[in-house]
Amino acid sequence: MSSIQQNIEQITSQISSALQKCGRARDSVQLLAVSKTKPTQAILDAALAGQTAFGENYVQEGVDKIAYFAQSHPELELVWHFIGPIQSNKTRPVAENFAWVHTIDRAKIAQRLNDQRPTCLPPLQVLIQVNTSGEESKSGIEEEQVFELAELISSLPNLTLRGLMSIPANVPDYPSQLRAFKQLSELKHRLSERFPQLNLDTLSMGMSGDMDAAIEAGSTMVRIGTAIFGARDYNK
């Protein structure tokens, strides 16, 4: 077994015990393997361990990997999530290649992704990225603006709003992590009440360093890179 496969087993059991500890149902959290900067061989190792959902941050790198797997391993049926910041001049390749986008933070991006989504594909599954920590992270929309953006997205036929995503400030202590995640969880609750017709079922939160707190706060999708693939080398 490769070390990547062992890591996936390890993370999967960590997810199960975190769920059990707070009395949540088994399998109520999906594992998204964040493969940015990692070679296709690493993704293949993970896929052979049964992993199907992968997250990428850089448009060109992601599009290249998607094309490679569509060509060489169509049987794996990988599902690709775009989780990086989106510039408006890069929306087209995102709309044409990915199944999910986690990082919608303004109307212009939502509108462009909708207009550029090929109608032969299913609607793009999208999340609104919220800046819950206010200061540190500059990406994500302010909480008060989420409702207006959700309203717009719900009117766009080629996008399906599934929920919220955040990347809280990187803090080591569990209570602070939990507080930030609960803030997103409560916002999602209010959003679901406001838009009961939308089936908002996704809270994308939790990474290698704060996964347990995210799960306790109600995460349904954890985005794990380092704990699966090892540290990233951005100089390659």
Ligand X SMILES: *Cc1c(COP(=O)(O)O)cnc(C)c1O
> What does the binding site for ligand X look like in residue numbers (CB under 6 A)?
34, 36, 57, 83, 167, 207-209, 223-227
179 touches 205 (CB < 8 A): no
Task: Compare residues 11 and 146 and give the one whose CB is closer to ligand X.
Answer: 11
Task: Compare residues 20 and 226 and give the one whose CB is closer to ligand X.
Answer: 226
Task: Compare residues 70 and 171 and give the one whose CB is closer to ligand X.
Answer: 171
Cβ-closest residue to ligand X? 225
Closest separation in Å from C-beta 224 to ligand X: 5
Task: Compare residues 85 and 158 and give the one whose CB is closer to ligand X.
Answer: 85
Closest separation in Å from C-beta 68 to ligand X: 20
SS (H, E, C) the chain: CCHHHHHHHHHHHHHHHHHHHCCCCCCCCEEEEECCCCCHHHHHHHHHCCCCEEEECCHHHHHHHHHHHHHHCHHHCCEEEECCCCCHHHHHHHHHHCCEEEEECCHHHHHHHHHHCCCCCCCEEEEEEECCCCCCCCCCECHHHHHHHHHHHHCCCCEEEEEEECCCCCCCCHHHHHHHHHHHHHHHHHHHHHCCCCCCCEEECCCCCCHHHHHHCCCCEEEECHHHHCCCCCCC
Task: Compare residues 218 and 225 and give the one whose CB is closer to ligand X.
Answer: 225
Separation of first and last alpha carbons in the chain? 26
In angstroms, the CA 122 to CA 124 distance is: 6
Which of 117, 61, 104, 52 shows the shortest CA–CA distance to 80?
52
Closest separation in Å from C-beta 77 to ligand X: 22
Closest separation in Å from C-beta 155 to ligand X: 27
Task: Compare residues 188 and 223 and give the one whose CB is closer to ligand X.
Answer: 223
Closest separation in Å from C-beta 78 to ligand X: 17
Closest separation in Å from C-beta 2 to ligand X: 18
Closest separation in Å from C-beta 103 to ligand X: 7
Task: Compare residues 34 and 215 and give the one whose CB is closer to ligand X.
Answer: 34
